[in-house]
């Protein structure tokens, strides 16, 4: 539509005299703003220089100006009319049922929020799949008439703002509210922000005027905004006895909305005193307009952050508060900003960083949201608000744990190009959870660490090409010649609970998760992903269809254990939430292993343990042997899947597909057969069933030993083969499932091994082979089963013997004698051993040769957690250099923990180890001590990681061993000695303490 007709149509939407009004209620509580605080004059001058000098900077500027012009070309009344009052509800979704005409097809076409909205068609939504437009009535005239004029209310799809209810199904569709929500969030607020930044780049006050018009209008309506009582989701949550606060939008997304508005005001506030047109139209002076906006928008939003109406994932509301406080300039900064550093509160989401970085971030620097996508919110937010806090006198970058956040950001990169798609993160296609250049740029500016500049280079965001966002314009380019990310070794992030095995080229990798599960985690402890050939060949399924209690497939499938590469016990998802314990982690130039016991995941199990052994067959090829041991329960389902793409199976005879699903021939797709009481009104969050109802076309192996094969859909050269080796009483099944029940229709093929029986013990063994054009394995045979497993793998001219024995007993298998927990021996065609690897044992004999290695033990005498050092009285001599890069274990009666070592030395006959990760695992403020009980209001949400840790006083003097942690209470194994833990002072939780036993498993490798 031409601009003129666009303007004419907008004039019909609303006028100032007919617009529904809200009445502001506030006067400013502090002196009016006198200085721009978020964007300095020096930064703006740099931005203009960059735009003039660099093509990529000019491209950013041109794109921003294009967006700004779309809104700046409107008249003031048109722009104000789009900013609706609080009387118009908001909804981030129309309905979980999709489109009234084409149903869920809309989600497959355009995702969950894909409805088309356009200011030229006010309060209308258009289905991108079938083209249907809703509602059928004229809501615009209804709104503009003060909710009196009901044009078109005799049509089929009438929405009065509170949704249209389908008379057949009772499902409610929120057309008007969806338009209103996304017009604010995706269109108007970004438009205002673009106009304000356009003013900074150009000095053109026309942009500033339009931004000020919109900001003043938002200040009119903002105090009355109350998402909990004015939204679809607020209504739904009330129906189940809960609540969901917010302002214009929900409390999480409101963080970004008010951050953007605060930036906008800071950019243009200086123009209001000279804006005669604005003053005339509002009949106010410049100071009166500024007073109005600062009171009714900025101060109201600040209060909303404080009372929880604006609160997101950790970091989001902190970013909002920082931006609001600086935009407001004057106020109670000790409360608003200082508390973000020092606050001790019972609310985990509002802890000051001095506590939160230890109580809500694991010792390796990974936040505790489980999902990388959500964990990186912490780092992205800090990257944004920490530089602003420095201007207010608070230095977040100076906190030691902040640096570790950024280090862990790099350490979580797998096979150079991926993050694990754990929990609510990513997609089945894989990739990095965030490529936001603001994160490495902030780290580089703070720490001058070239690794972060090189990461920007790998993103194509360094040097002259480095301008990607408005914020990147504010400083000179960061220089790097890097174009790829560096290789990393196999590594363990034991605080988080992520083990990564990869070849020396870092081109093939396996990542196994065994950590604590947060709200954005899935029920997939000991699940893994495999990356090879530049793609995820055994991917997690990524972010579910949506993220709320009222979508069944989230809990029955996407979060459920069966959808992951894992074992389901007794046809129920995993229940308990206790991290696994690393029993062995060892790396060599050609073989490596991770072995984790997580028996508390299923309370009925005495063992729930996975060991993955990786063997390289060349610089670019490797395979994996997976040993999954389960003891307890009556049914074990070992579930593996490949990527989207073509699937085939050779070497076996399968039955025809059965009707129904894996849950039974009479159980239809998606039916909640095992908890039928759950429904859309109560929500599905409490589902603990099997999820088997999502697996269809179930076939049973009738004979043979099949090889399952997948070809990656988007890269046909990438292949995966899996052989599940036989064991007594094992049934092998094939099944199909969608990536997600609604949004992602790609079909995944599952290979499932099932065993049943009372007091069941199973060890599932599979050979997992990623390859390019030619397979690398000719055959794989299990030659010993039971407590000791041995597998023979034949490939071209070589033969590998792989042994797994968690008990480390003496054994002789096919001419190999050893007591190792894990071993790999490669033989050539002549039967000669050409490679030997073993770990967790003292010897291996083969071909008349004997190889030995010693474990190291000792007793911890002291710790220096500030320098991440542990002093150990060792039982035997050792070259400390051999420990650098290794993973060592510390244990006592209550826990066993693993730490990577970065430095080691001998000092006065003691071994002094420097750990890569923190020794601090918690910080509290002591309220009171009663015997062996320490009371605190400081939240320690990750309660299950603390048994066995050491409590110290503020000076790091040992106080006692932690027995257990519950809300507000730390129970020690012994009573606290008098005066050893003063009240109203801080105390620390340390992962290793005096008396703990050091254990370093043996490791040996040799190649001809």
Provide φ and ψ at 303, rounded to 5°. -65, -35
Residue 451 — left, alpha, or beta (φ > 0 → left; ψ -120 to 50 → alpha)?
Answer: alpha
pLDDT of residue 546: 85
* Local structure of 277: helix, strand or coil: helix
pLDDT of residue 980: 85
Which spans in 412-529 are helix H?
438-447, 450-458
pLDDT of residue 548: 84
Contact predicate 878/858, CB 8 Å? no
Three-state SS for 667-723 is CCCCCCCCCCCCECCCECCCCCCCCHHHCEEEEEEEEEEEEEEEEECCCCCCEEEEE
Contact predicate 630/607, CB 8 Å? yes
Q: What is the end-to-end Cα distance of the chain in Å, rounded?
A: 74
Q: What share of the chain is helix, strand, coil (3-state, %, to 5)?
A: 30, 30, 45
CB < 8 Å & 24+ apart, contacts of 166-171: 166/97, 166/100, 169/97, 171/95, 171/97
Q: Strands 581-587 and 591-597, how do they pair? A: antiparallel
Two structure tokens written together for 640: 């593996």
Divide the 1008 residues of the chain into consecutive groups of 10 and give the mean pLDDT of each group. 33 39 82 96 97 97 97 96 97 95 93 93 97 97 96 97 96 97 98 98 98 98 97 93 95 98 98 98 97 98 97 96 98 95 95 97 98 97 96 94 97 98 97 95 97 96 94 96 96 98 98 97 98 98 90 97 98 97 98 98 98 97 98 98 98 97 98 94 93 98 98 97 97 98 95 97 98 97 93 96 98 97 98 98 97 97 98 95 97 98 97 98 97 97 97 96 97 92 95 98 97
Q: Strands 779-784 and 789-795, how do they pair? A: antiparallel
Per DSSP, 975 falls in state P
Question: Which H helix or E strand runs over 924?
Answer: strand 920-930
d(CA 963, CA 954): 20
Identify which of 727, 694, 809, 719 has the alpha carbon closest to the alpha carbon of residue 770.
719
pLDDT of residue 6: 34
Two structure tokens written together for 553: 């497939």
- Is pTM beyond 0.85 here? yes
d(CA 362, CA 228): 33
Cα 462 to Cα 105, 126, 447, 467, 488: the distances in Å are: 41, 40, 17, 8, 21
List residues bridging with 811 in a β-sheet: 818
d(CA 9, CA 61): 29
Identify which of 384, 367, 396 has the alpha carbon closest to the alpha carbon of residue 319.
384
d(CA 626, CA 642): 15
Two structure tokens written together for 590: 């050609």
pLDDT of residue 547: 80
d(CA 805, CA 786): 9
pLDDT of residue 22: 75
Cβ neighbours of residue 589 closer than 8 Å, sequence gap 6 or more: 504, 616, 1005, 1007
Identify which of 349, 207, 193 has the alpha carbon closest to the alpha carbon of residue 256.
193
pLDDT of residue 21: 60
Q: What angle do CA 230, 232, 234 make, to 5 degrees?
A: 65
Identify which of 678, 508, 501 has the alpha carbon closest to the alpha carbon of residue 596.
501
d(CA 859, CA 862): 9
Strand ranges, E, within 514-655: 528-532, 535-538, 566-569, 581-587, 591-597, 607-616, 622-631, 635-641, 645-654
Q: Strands 969-972 and 986-990, how do they pair? A: unpaired
Helix axes 253-268 and 189-202, enclosed angle (nearest 10) = 30
């Amino acid at each position: 539509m031409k601009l003129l007709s666009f303007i004419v149509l907008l004039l019909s939407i609303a006028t100032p005299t007919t617009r529904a009004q809200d009445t502001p209620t506030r006067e400013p509580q502090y002196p009016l703003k006198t200085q721009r605080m978020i964007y300095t004059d020096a930064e703006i001058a740099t931005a203009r220089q960059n735009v003039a000098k660099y093509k990529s900077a000019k491209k950013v500027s041109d794109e921003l100006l294009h967006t700004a012009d779309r809104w700046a070309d409107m008249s003031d009344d048109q722009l104000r009319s789009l900013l609706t009052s609080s009387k118009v509800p908001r909804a981030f979704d129309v309905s979980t049922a999709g489109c009234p005409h084409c149903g869920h097809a809309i989600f497959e076409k355009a995702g969950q929020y894909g409805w088309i909205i356009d200011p030229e068609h006010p309060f209308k939504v258009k289905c991108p799949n079938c083209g249907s437009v809703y509602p059928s009535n004229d809501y615009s005239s209804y709104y503009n008439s003060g909710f009196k004029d009901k044009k078109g209310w005799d049509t089929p799809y009438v929405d009065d703002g509170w949704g249209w209810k389908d008379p057949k199904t009772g499902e409610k569709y929120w057309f008007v509210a969806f338009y209103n929500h996304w017009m604010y969030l995706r269109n108007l607020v970004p438009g205002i922000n673009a106009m304000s930044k356009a003013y900074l780049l150009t000095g053109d006050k026309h942009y500033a005027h339009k931004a000020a018009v919109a900001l003043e209008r938002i200040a009119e309506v903002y105090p009355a905004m109350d998402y909990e009582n004015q939204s679809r989701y607020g209504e739904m949550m009330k129906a189940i006895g809960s609540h969901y606060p917010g302002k214009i939008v929900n409390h999480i997304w409101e963080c970004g909305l008010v951050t953007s508005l605060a930036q906008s005001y800071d950019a243009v506030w200086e123009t209001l005193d000279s804006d005669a047109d604005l003053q005339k139209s509002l009949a106010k002076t410049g100071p009166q307009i500024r007073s109005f906006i600062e009171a009714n928008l900025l101060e109201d939003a600040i209060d909303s952050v404080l009372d929880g109406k604006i609160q997101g994932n950790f970091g989001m509301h902190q970013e909002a508060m920082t931006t609001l406080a600086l935009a407001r300039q004057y106020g109670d900064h000790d409360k608003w900003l200082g508390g973000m550093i020092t606050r001790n509160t019972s609310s985990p989401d509002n802890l000051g960083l001095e506590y939160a970085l230890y109580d809500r971030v694991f010792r390796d620097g990974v936040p505790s949201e489980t999902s990388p996508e959500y964990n990186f919110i912490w780092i992205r937010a800090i990257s944004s608000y920490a530089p602003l806090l420095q201007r207010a006198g608070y230095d977040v970058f100076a906190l030691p744990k902040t640096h570790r956040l950024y280090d862990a950001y790099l350490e979580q990169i797998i096979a150079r190009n991926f993050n694990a798609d754990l929990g609510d993160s990513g997609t089945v296609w894989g990739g990095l959870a965030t490529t936001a250049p603001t994160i490495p740029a902030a780290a580089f500016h703070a720490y001058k660490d070239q690794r972060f500049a090189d990461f920007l280079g790998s993103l194509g965001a360094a040097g002259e090409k480095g301008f990607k966002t408005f914020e990147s314009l504010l400083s000179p380019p960061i220089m790097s010649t890097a174009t790829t990310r560096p290789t990393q070794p196999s590594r363990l992030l034991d605080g988080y609970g992520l083990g990564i095995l990869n070849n020396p080229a870092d081109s093939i990798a396996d990542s196994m998760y065994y950590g604590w599960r947060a709200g954005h985690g899935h029920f997939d402890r000991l699940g893994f992903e495999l990356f090879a050939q530049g793609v995820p060949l055994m991917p997690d399924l990524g972010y579910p269809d949506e993220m709320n209690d009222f979508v069944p497939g989230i809990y029955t499938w996407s979060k459920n254990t069966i959808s992951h590469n894992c074992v389901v016990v007794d046809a129920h998802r995993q229940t308990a939430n206790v991290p696994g314990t690393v029993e062995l982690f060892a790396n060599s130039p050609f073989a490596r292993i991770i072995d984790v016991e997580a028996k508390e995941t299923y309370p009925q199990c005495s063992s729930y343990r996975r060991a993955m052994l990786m063997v390289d067959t060349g610089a670019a090829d490797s395979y994996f042997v997976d040993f999954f041991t389960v003891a307890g329960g009556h049914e074990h389902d070992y579930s593996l899947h490949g990527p989207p793409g073509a699937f085939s199976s050779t070497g076996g005879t399968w039955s025809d597909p059965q009707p129904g699903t894996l849950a039974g021939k009479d159980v239809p797709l998606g039916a909640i057969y095992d908890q039928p009481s759950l429904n859309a009104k109560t929500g599905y969050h409490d589902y603990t069933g099997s999820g088997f109802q999502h697996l269809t076309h179930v076939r049973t192996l009738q004979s043979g030993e099949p090889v399952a094969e997948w070809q990656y859909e988007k890269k046909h050269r990438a292949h995966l083969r899996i052989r599940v080796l036989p064991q007594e009483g094992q049934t092998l099944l094939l099944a199909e499932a969608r990536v997600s029940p609604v949004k992602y229709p790609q079909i995944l093929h599952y290979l499932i091994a099932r065993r049943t029986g009372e007091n069941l013990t199973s060890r599932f063994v599979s050979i997992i082979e990623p390859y390019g054009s030619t397979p690398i394995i000719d055959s794989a045979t299990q030659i010993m089963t039971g407590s000791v497993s041995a597998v023979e793998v034949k490939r071209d001219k070589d033969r590998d013997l792989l042994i797994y024995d968690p008990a480390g007993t003496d054994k002789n298998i096919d001419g190999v004698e050893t007591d190792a927990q894990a071993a790999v021996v490669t033989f050539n065609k002549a039967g000669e051993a050409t490679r030997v690897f073993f770990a967790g044992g003292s010897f291996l004999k083969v071909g008349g040769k004997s190889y030995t290695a010693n474990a190291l033990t000792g007793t911890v005498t002291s710790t220096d957690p500030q320098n991440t050092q542990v002093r150990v009285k060792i039982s035997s001599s050792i070259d400390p250099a051999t420990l650098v890069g290794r993973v060592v274990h510390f244990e006592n009666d209550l826990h066993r923990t693993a730490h990577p070592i970065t430095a080691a030395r001998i000092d006065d006959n003691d071994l002094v180890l420097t750990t890569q990760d923190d020794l601090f695992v918690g910080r509290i403020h002591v309220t009171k001590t009663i015997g062996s009980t320490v009371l605190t209001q400081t939240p320690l949400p990750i309660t299950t990681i603390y048994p066995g840790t050491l409590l110290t006083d503020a000076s790091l003097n040992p106080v006692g061993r932690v027995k257990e942690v519950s809300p507000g209470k730390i129970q020690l194994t012994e009573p606290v000695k008098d005066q050893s833990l003063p009240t109203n002072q801080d105390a620390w939780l340390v992962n290793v303490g005096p008396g703990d036993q050091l254990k370093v498993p043996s490791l040996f490798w040799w190649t001809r």
